[in-house]
Structures are given as structure tokens and as C-alpha cells.
Amino acid sequence: MKRLIIIALAVGVALSFSSGVRAADSTKVAAKAPGKADTLKWAEAHFKYVGETKCKMCHKQQYDSWATTKHAKAWASLKPEEQKKAECVECHVTGKTASDSLLVNVACEACHGPGSDYKASAKMKDVKLAAAAGLLAVNEATCVRCHNAKSPTFKSFEFAKAKETGVHKHFPKVPPTTAPTK
């Protein structure tokens, strides 16, 4: 577990040096965004996972609610020897298919997409900018990447029902307090 966190942190540090360049490029990237089926692939090719503590700074309510879900404990459900097996790790982490970042548990970005770019305040306040910077729509396809028969404990998956218990509670959007005055 320590090793995975260290990898994630190292990636985070490397990123903080290059994020200026990436931010400037995201409009160009958006123009190349492919159709829905590959959006995760597209997002992972251009943006990095940053970890749920970054999201918590601005979304404490969603964070606290997420922390009570099974997703927040998915890594601990694996026994130490299973945590070393690729065939188990796959769905009990965030960012398995990304080349260079891996975070334990099914965290924010497992559903919302890698947040290195969209987490910036100016993009978050404009959902179109956020989407161009990697914020993905959450739908049934998001879930069935992991909720499928490849899971040894899989029985069935019913999206509408699973959304009620598996996802954090929802909170009204708070209008930005720093809205420009003009």
C-alpha cells in the first residue's frame, strides 16, 4: 500500500512542474476529444490522477460522504497477498489503465476522470471548460468497467439501484464566492 501511494505522490510532484504547459493546451486537446466510448482513454492520455485529498479541499461534503461508501475501503478488502496480484488490483484502485499513476481505493477520479487539469478553480466553475480538461460524465458505462463478471464476487449490477447506495450523497452547487464583478 505504501509503495502505491509513493508512486502516486512522485507523479504528483512531477506534474506540478509541468501543469502550466498542460493547462495552456487543453483547448486544443478538447478539439481532439473522441466519441463517448473512448473518453476515459482520451482523458488518461492527456491528464493525470491527483488523488482524492486534492478534491477534498473544495468538495468536503462529497468527500465525507464518499468515505462512508465501500469504494473508500476497496483496497483494504484485498488481503496483503491479493494486493500484489494484478488480477485483483485492477478494480480495487483508481487509474489502473493509466500508464504512470495508481491510487488505492475507488476514489473520486475513478468516476469523474483524472483531475490534474480540471481541478483548477477557473475550470471547475465552468462545466464546459472542466469537460475539456478531462472531467467525465458519470453513467452506467463508468460503473461496468468494474462491476462485471470478471469480479470474482459479481452477481448482478443494476445501475439505478447501485447509484443510490454506492455513490456519495449529492449536494447543491454552491455559487462561486469569487465571481468577477462586472
163 binds ligand HEC (CB under 6 A): yes
| Alpha carbon 156 to its chain's center | 23
- The amino acid occupying position 40 is L
Number of residues that bind ligand HEC (CB under 6 A): 60
Query: Of 15, 39, 66, 132, which one interacts with ligand HEC (CB under 6 A)?
Result: 66
141 binds ligand HEC (CB under 6 A): no
Cα separation values, 83 from 89, 104, 138, Å: 6, 10, 27
Nearer to ligand HEC among residue 3 and residue 150 (C-beta): 150
Shortest distance (Å) from residue 126 CB to ligand HEC:
8
Exposed e or buried b for every residue in 109-139, given b needs 16+ CB within 10 A? bbbbbbbbbbbbeebbeeeebbbbbbbbeee
CA–CA separation, 41 vs 89, rounded Å?
Answer: 19
Question: Phi first, then psi: what are they for 27, rounded to 5°?
Answer: -70, -40
Ranges within 75-134 binding ligand HEC (CB under 6 A): 77-78, 82, 85, 87-88, 90-92, 106-112, 115, 119, 121, 124-125, 127
Ranges within 9-48 binding ligand HEC (CB under 6 A): none
Nearer to ligand HEC among residue 3 and residue 163 (C-beta): 163
The sign of the torsion formed by the CA atoms of 33, 130, 54, 37 equals negative
- Provide the residue count of the chain: 182
Number of C-beta neighbours around residue 37 at 10 A: 9
Query: Of 57, 86, 179, 180, which one interacts with ligand HEC (CB under 6 A)?
Result: 57
Q: Residue numbers of the site for ligand HEC (CB under 6 A)? A: 50, 52, 54-55, 57-59, 62-63, 66, 70-71, 73-74, 77-78, 82, 85, 87-88, 90-92, 106-112, 115, 119, 121, 124-125, 127, 137-138, 142-143, 145-148, 150-154, 162-163, 165-168, 170-171, 173-174, 176
